A and B are shown apart, each in its own frame.
Chain A
Amino acid sequence: MAEPLIAVRGLCKSYGGIIATDNLDLAVSRGEIHAIIGPNGAGKTTLINQISGSLRPDAGVIRLEGRDITALPPHARCRLGLARSFQITSIFTDFPVIENVALCVQARTGHSYRFWRPVGDDAGLNARALASLERVGLAGRRDHIAGHMSHGEHRQLEIAMALATDPKALLLDEPMAGMGPEESARMVEIIAGLGADHAILLIEHDMDAVFALADRITVLVSGRAIASGPPDEIRANDAVQRAYLGDAGPDLD
């Protein structure tokens, strides 16, 4: 089997006495959507922060396409093809939508020590930015000031910005957070569309979305993976039922 795009081995992170990541192994291949579920405080976002590089693990190795990226800063990992979206919307609020995405394209294509030519007229950047916006269905909002849009649109913009860096692997931190059912359904469609040509690590509380999208699910409790497997297996797993899904869990039939 081909080497996984993202491979995490023996990852550990703790804050004082609290263990956020406990000797975690994880692999995501191209064309695979790997969902991480678990109760609040299970260490899901901490995990994404370590893979994306904004948090340094205490121990363990993170590889991207076989290359050890554990010590690289976030911007370097992004340039190698690892992009993330944020749980709490993180955009350039005072920029128009198209510029939010164009800056991501620009970051990826390299040349930002250009001081003279107006960037707004750069047709190449704008065309690629627009392509990303189209993929998430935001092309019609291109000239809106990003901060003025709705929450659902912010979530879509998050994805478009991650896409614009032309990644091989995507880390999506609760892309459906705070969305209504219609917006969620739309986001499921968008993510399913991306699944084919990316390796996606998805953190999500919306179980309907997770079971609709994921090829593989890992259940995280107190930083430890208590189960990992295809959705059907996870659904039938007793330990998972007890530890997480429980009686209050979603209808898994």
Chain B
Amino acid sequence: MAVSLRSGVTLGVLAGFAALPILTELFDQPYYLDIAMRMMCLAIAAVSLNLALGFGGMVSFGHAVFIGIGAYAVGIPAYYGEYSGFIQIPLAMGAAGLFALVTGAICLRTRGVYFIMITLAFAQMAFFALVSIEEYGGDDGLVIDTRSEFGGLIDLEQTATLYYLILAALIVSLYLVRRIVASRFGRVIRGAKSNDERAQAIGLDSYRYRLACYVISGALCGLAGALLGNFTGFISPDMMDWTRSGELIFMVVLGGAGSLFGPVLGAAAFLILEEFLSSLTIHWQFIFGPLLILMVLYGRGGIDGLLGDRTGGDRHG
């Protein structure tokens, strides 16, 4: 069978990301490389949120907190002179996963709007906690003067190296989510989203599975934060502001919740729109806002939905 439109788009976008450093070098437009790096970091975060939201039905309104935790897990060690990525990256994922475990254990006892509000509440708690810690810059944030070091294996001070590390992390994240969703565990998660009462009636303790899913999602989002921190070289509590969480949700919905690659398309479309509209007018949010509303109302299945019907069940493109 010929390559489907959906896999064609997936491969095309990833190939585009892979070729971009060469193109920006050729046309001397390094600025676009920056946008692409930001795009890929947020895409990883959106892919991780999609695991919880799209496949698990957990509408977390606090996912940016994991980005913040991941970034601070790079920034704080760096502040004390610890630059090893072999410490920072596991710390970022571990701390984000732990935060997800503790808060998720409480949040997941609630459903619907309550879940949304309580995830938001925990994220805001973390936000204000960091604002209040003067040692790490408080409100003003923290400059990361040296990017993560990997014992001389790769040198992230080379922007192209950082770029390809982020791209590799994105591809690995996608592959990971694809495997998880199609696994026994993934089927339970999707089943609990589809019909939780039935899932319990057939003997599944869905709470535990949801919690495990939430932890994986949080840890992956922590990785996105660690990479973002390396890229921006500056971190602040602003990274985990609730508006950031809202943007992540929007990227997932825009791209297509519950589709594997949709969140990447959503993150890309979001940043391109933001970039384009803000170049037109400083009041760009007046156009952006209504546009988002229209897309949510009429764009069923998001951008991914435009690529044709998705098959349900185990097969996710």
Taking beta carbons and an 8 Å cutoff, which residues of A are in contact with B? 52, 54, 73-76, 78-79, 83-84, 86, 90-96, 99, 102-104, 106-108, 111-120, 122, 145, 161-162, 164-165
Pick the residue among B184, B185, B197 that contacts A54 (CB under 8 A): B197
30 of the cross-chain contacts (CB-CB < 8 Å) are A73-B205, A74-B201, A75-B201, A76-B203, A76-B205, A78-B201, A78-B202, A90-B195, A90-B197, A90-B198, A90-B201, A91-B195, A92-B195, A92-B198, A95-B313, A99-B313, A103-B187, A103-B191, A112-B188, A112-B204, A113-B184, A113-B212, A115-B180, A115-B183, A116-B180, A118-B179, A119-B183, A119-B187, A120-B182, A165-B203
A25 → chain B, closest Cβ, in Å? Answer: 24
A15 → chain B, closest Cβ, in Å? Answer: 19
B314 and A99 contacting across the interface, CB-CB below 8 Å: yes
Q: With A92-B194, A96-B313, A103-B191 as given contacts, are A117 and B184 in contact (CB-CB < 8 Å)?
A: yes
**7 extra interface residue pairs, beta carbon distance < 8 Å, beyond A73-B205, A75-B203:** A76-B205, A78-B203, A93-B195, A96-B313, A112-B187, A115-B184, A164-B202
B299 → chain A, closest Cβ, in Å? Answer: 19
In whole angstroms, how far apart are the Cα atoms of A118 and B191 in the complex? 15
Measured between beta carbons, the chain B residues less than 8 angstroms from A114 are: 183-185
Measured between beta carbons, the chain B residues less than 8 angstroms from A113 are: 184-185, 212
Measured between beta carbons, the chain B residues less than 8 angstroms from A103 are: 187-188, 191, 199, 202
B203 closest partner in A (C-beta): A78
A96 and B312 contacting across the interface, CB-CB below 8 Å: yes
Measured between beta carbons, the chain A residues less than 8 angstroms from B185 are: 112-115
In whole angstroms, how far apart are the Cα atoms of A99 and B191 in the complex? 10
Q: Is B110 an interface residue (CB 8 A)?
A: no
Q: Is B283 an interface residue (CB 8 A)?
A: no
Pick the residue among B182, B204, B315 that contacts A75 (CB under 8 A): B204
In whole angstroms, how far apart are the Cα atoms of A133 and B204 in the complex? 20
Q: Is B190 an interface residue (CB 8 A)?
A: yes
Measured between beta carbons, the chain B residues less than 8 angstroms from A74 are: 200-201
A83 and B195 contacting across the interface, CB-CB below 8 Å: no
In whole angstroms, how far apart are the Cα atoms of A74 and B198 in the complex? 10
Measured between beta carbons, the chain A residues less than 8 angstroms from B21 are: none
In whole angstroms, how far apart are the Cα atoms of A92 and B187 in the complex? 11
B218 → chain A, closest Cβ, in Å? Answer: 15
Measured between beta carbons, the chain A residues less than 8 angstroms from B183 are: 114-119
B314 and A120 contacting across the interface, CB-CB below 8 Å: yes
In whole angstroms, how far apart are the Cα atoms of A238 and B198 in the complex? 39
A75 and B187 contacting across the interface, CB-CB below 8 Å: no
Q: With A74-B201, A104-B202 as given contacts, are A99 and B187 in contact (CB-CB < 8 Å)?
A: yes
Measured between beta carbons, the chain A residues less than 8 angstroms from B186 are: 115, 119
A108 and B182 contacting across the interface, CB-CB below 8 Å: no
B314 and A118 contacting across the interface, CB-CB below 8 Å: yes
A52 closest partner in B (C-beta): B201
B187 and A91 contacting across the interface, CB-CB below 8 Å: no
In whole angstroms, how far apart are the Cα atoms of A73 and B206 in the complex? 12
Measured between beta carbons, the chain B residues less than 8 angstroms from A120 are: 182, 313-315
B313 and A161 contacting across the interface, CB-CB below 8 Å: no
B174 → chain A, closest Cβ, in Å? Answer: 15
Residues in B173-227 with C-beta less than 8 Å from chain A: 179-180, 182-188, 190-191, 194-195, 197-206, 209, 212
A94 and B313 contacting across the interface, CB-CB below 8 Å: yes
B100 → chain A, closest Cβ, in Å? Answer: 16
A75 → chain B, closest Cβ, in Å? Answer: 5
